[in-house]
Amino acid sequence: MATQNEELATLSDYKYGFKDDVKYTFRSRKGLNAEVITELSHMKGEPQWMLDFRLKALEIFNKKPMPTWGGEINLDFDEITYYTRPSDKTEGNWDDVPADIKNTFDKLGIPEAERKFLAGVGAQYESEMVYHSVQKHLEEQGVIFLSSDDGLRQYPELFREHFGKVIPATDNKFAACNSAVWSGGSFVYVPKGVKVEMPLQAYFRLNAEGTGQFERTLIIVDEGAQVHYVEGCTAPTYSRDSFHSGVIEIIVKKNARCRYSTIQNWSNNVYNLVTQRAVVHEGATMEWVDANLGSKLTMKYPSCYLVGEGAHGEILSMAFAGPGQHQDTGGKIIHGAPNTSSKITSKSISRAGGRASYRGLLKVYKGAHGAKSSVVCDALLIDDKSRSDTYPYIEIDEDDVTIGHEASVSKVGEDQLFYLMSRGLSQEEATSMVVSGFIEPLVKELPMEYAIEMNRLIALQMEGSVG
Amino acid sequence: MVPVLEIRNLHVSVEDKPILKGVNLTVKQGEVHALMGPNGTGKSTLAYALMGHPNYTVTAGQVIFKGVDLLELEPDERSRLGLFLAFQYPVAIPGVSVANFLRTAINSRRRAANPEDKGIPIPEFRKLLRAKLDLLQMSHDFAGRYLNEGFSGGEKKRAEILQLATLEPDIAVLDETDSGLDIDALRIVASGVNMLAGPSLGVLVITHYQRILNYIKPQFVHIMLDGRIVESGGADLALHLEEQGYDWVREKYPEKAEN
C-alpha cells in the first residue's frame, strides 16, 4: 500500500474552470476611487443618499488597516476591476438573458434546478444580476425576491430602512469595500406568516480575469415567516487573482425562521472575504449552513446576533482546504437577550498542504441569563503536510449560562484505510469514504439535491488525492 | 479448480522484529481450519500479513491464492480476488452507515471487474442486504447504523460476519472472532459462520481458546508456537488442547517455547 503522503497528485481538474468570451456593456478602469464609484452609481441611476453612502464607505475603506489576523492577503487592490456590467437589465426570463451568459448558467445546471426544486432563482454574472425570478404564487403572497439594485429602485423605503444597519460600512475593511462598490446580490422580503417551502437560490459567477464581485444581499423575514436561501459560486481559473467580497445582512423578526446555505466553490485564484450577519429577534431562529470548498483564501464567519428573548442561532460550518488553499472560517454568536440558545458545529478537512482554521466567537452579554450554547469543532487531516488550527474565543459576562465546547483533530488513520481496503475499496475510495463520513452530520442537514451535490464535490476534491 | 490459499515458508517482521518464522499452511475452499496457539505466537500477524497490512513486512516465503502471487497485491486487490479477513478489532468509520459501506464495497468489486459497471441498483442491493440480515438473524435497523461506531463487542463481530456473508469470498480468515464475546454472542456468531461455511467457502479460524470450536467444527487443527506451525491434526487435536492446555506443546518444543 503506497503511503498517503507519497505521490499526492494535484487537484483534479476544477470542473467549473471554463471561461466565456463575453462582450461587456461596461467595465470600469482598474482600482477603487471616487470616480469609479460615482460612475457606477450614476449608471445605476441611484438616489443621492446611496452615492453619499458609497463615498463615505470609500473613505472608511481607505482608512482601515488590513486585518492582522486570518489569512495572508497578497491582493493588489489597484489591479482589480471593481465594476463589470455584463448586460443592462435583470431579466425575468432566461430567453432574454444574453446567449453566452445563459449558456454558462445552463452548463452550471441553474435553469434546470429552478424547474425542479427551487422557489426562485437569481443569477449574478460579474457585477450584475442578469436573471431574477420567483414563483408566481409567492409573488402573489407578497414575497419579494429581486436583485438588490431593483430592490432599491422598487422598494426604496423598505430597502433604506434596513440597508447597512446590520453590517455598517465601519464593520471591517472588506465590508467598507463592499459598501463603496456593491452591485447585485438579492433583496428578499418574506411577509408576515408566509412560509416559503422550497429554497430560493442565488448563483454567483465570476468570469473575467482580475475581477471583483461585491454583491450585497439583504434578507428580511417578517414575523412568523420562513425562508431558505441558498447561494452557490464558481469562477474560471486564472493565474491572476480575483476578489469576491459580499455583504449579507439578514433580519429575522419575531418567531420567524431563516436558513442561509452557502456552497462556495470558487476557483483557487479567488480571494473570498465575506461578511455575513443576522439579527435574530424574539423566538426566531437563524441557521447558517456554510460550506467552503473553493477559493484561494476564504475569511468568513457567519454571525447571529440574538437580540430577542428565546432567539436561537445555529452555524454549521464545513471547510475543505486542498493544495494552496486556506479556509479561515467559523462563526460568531452573540447572546444579547435572556434564554437564547445557539450551536456551532464546525467540520474541516485539510489535505495536500491545505490549511483550515476554525475561528469563532461566542459572546454572552450580562443579562442574557439562561443562555445555552454548544460549540463543537472537528478537524480531519488527510496527511502530514496539511494544517488545522482552532481559534475559539469565548467571552461570558453572565453567570447563569450553560456553555459546552469540544474540539478534536483526527487524522485519517492507516487502520481505517486498511480496514476499508480489506473489503475491496481502493485507497482513494477508502479515503473518500472516511471524509464523507466525517462531514455526514453536516451534509444531512442540506436538502437532498444539495447533499448530493456536496458529496459529489467532495469526491471531486478527493480525486487523485492518493498515489 | 477449487480456489486454494497456499502459504509457503512465510516469514514476517513487524518493525524489524521477526514474528513469523516459516509458516506453511494450505486452506482450500470448502475446508474449515483452526489455527490455535498461546498468545503472542504470531497468529494475528499471519492474518494481517495475508491481508496486506502495511506494517507487516514479508521477509521471505510465498503466498499463492488462486494461482496468483498474493503478496504482490494491495489489500483491496486481495479482497477482490476472494480473500476476507474478519478483524479481531474492527475499526469504526463514523458517519458511514453499514449499508452505504457494503454497497460501496460491492460496487468497488463490480467496477474492478468491469470499469463500465454502473453499480448495483439500489432496490437489488436492499433486497440482498435484507436477505443477509435475515440469514444472520440481525435487525434491519443495523444497516442504518454507522459502521462499528458505538457497537458492542458482539455487534462488531456480527457486523464482520454480515460483511463476510455479503461479500461472499472464497476464503475467510477469522481473527480471534471469539475474543471478548459472552457465550450467547459467541453462539450467534458461530452459527453465522456455520451457515456460511460450506462448499463455496474455506475458513481459517484463528483462536486462542478452544471454546469456539464447540460451535464451529474444524476438519483441520494447527498449533502455532513462536511463529511456526508445530502440530497439525484433526478435530481431536483441539480436544487434546482443551484437556491439556498448551504446556505439553511447549514441553515438546522447548527451543520455541523459550522465545
B38 in contact with chain A, both atoms CB, cutoff 8 A = no
Ordered structural domains, chain B, with CATH = 4-90+169-257 (3.40.50.300), 92-150 (no CATH)
Q: Do A422 and B79 touch (CB under 8 A)?
A: yes
Query: Which ipTM score applies to this complex?
Result: 0.96
Q: Which of B54, B55, B163 sits opposite A423 (nearest CB)?
A: B163
What is the reported pLDDT for A7? 31
Domain extent listing, chain A: 26-412, 413-467
| Contacts A–B by Cβ distance under 8 A | 81
Q: How confident is the model at residue B181 (pLDDT cuts 50, 70, 90)?
A: confident
When the pLDDT of each residue in chain A is averaged and rounded to a whole number, the result is 91
What is the reported pLDDT for A76? 92
Q: Do A427 and B108 touch (CB under 8 A)?
A: no
C-alpha cell at A432: 473518500
A7 in contact with chain B, both atoms CB, cutoff 8 A = no
Q: Among A30-44, A226-240, A322-336, B84-98, whose mean pLDDT is lowest? A: A226-240
B80 in contact with chain A, both atoms CB, cutoff 8 A = yes
What is the reported pLDDT for A14? 74
Contact between A433 and A462 under an 8 Å Cβ cutoff? The reply is: no
The three-state (H, E, C) secondary structure of chain B, written as one string:
CCCEEEEEEEEEEECCEEEEEEEEEEEECCCEEEEECCCCCCHHHHHHHHHCCCCEEEEEEEEEECCEEHHHCCHHHHHHHCEEEECCCCCCCCCCEHHHHHHHHHHHHHHHHCCCCCCCCHHHHHHHHHHHHHHCCCCHHHHHCECCCCCCHHHHHHHHHHHHHHHCCCEEEEECCCCCCCHHHHHHHHHHHHHHCECCEEEEEEECCCHHHHCCCCCEEEEEECCEEEEEECHHHHHHHHHHCCHHHHHHCHHHHCC
Q: Do A434 and B93 touch (CB under 8 A)?
A: yes
| CB-CB neighbors (< 8 A) of B90 in chain A | 419
Q: Do B163 and A3 touch (CB under 8 A)?
A: no
B150 in contact with chain A, both atoms CB, cutoff 8 A = no
Task: Tell me the pLDDT tens digit for each residue of A317-352.
Answer: 999 999 999 999 999 999 999 999 999 999 999 999
Query: For chain A, how big is the Rg over CA atoms in Å?
Result: 22
The answer, yes or no, to whether residue A121 has pLDDT greater than 90, is: yes
The β-bridge partners of A393 are A361
Task: Tell me the pLDDT tens digit for each residue of A262-283.
Answer: 999 999 999 999 999 999 999 9
A379 in contact with chain B, both atoms CB, cutoff 8 A = no
| CB-CB neighbors (< 8 A) of B101 in chain A | 420, 423, 433
What is the reported pLDDT for B257? 60
Q: Do B52 and A1 touch (CB under 8 A)?
A: yes
| CB-CB neighbors (< 8 A) of B53 in chain A | 418
Q: Do A440 and B96 touch (CB under 8 A)?
A: yes
B88 in contact with chain A, both atoms CB, cutoff 8 A = no
Q: Which residue of B has its CA nearest to A431?
A: B93
Is A63 strand, coil or helix? Answer: helix
Q: How confident is the model at residue A173 (pLDDT cuts 50, 70, 90)?
A: very high
Burial class (CB in 10 A: 0-12, 13-18, 19+), B226: buried
Region A444-465: mean pLDDT is 78
Q: How far apart are CA B225 and CA B229, in angstroms?
A: 6
Nearest CA-CA distance, residue B230 and chain A, Å:
29
Percent of chain A with pLDDT strictly greater than 90: 78
| CB-CB neighbors (< 8 A) of B122 in chain A | none
Nearest CA-CA distance, residue B163 and chain A, Å:
8
Q: How far apart are CA B217 and CA A143, in angstroms?
A: 72
Region B252-259: mean pLDDT is 70
Task: Tell me the pLDDT tens digit for each residue of A140-172.
Answer: 999 999 999 999 999 999 999 999 999 999 999
Nearest CA-CA distance, residue B100 and chain A, Å:
9
Q: Please list, in sequence order, all residues whose beta carbon lies within 8 angstroms of the beta carbon of residue A297, skipping any fewer than 6 positions away.
A: A71, A72, A73, A271, A272, A273, A325, A326, A327, A328
Q: Which residue of B has its CA nearest to A437?
A: B95
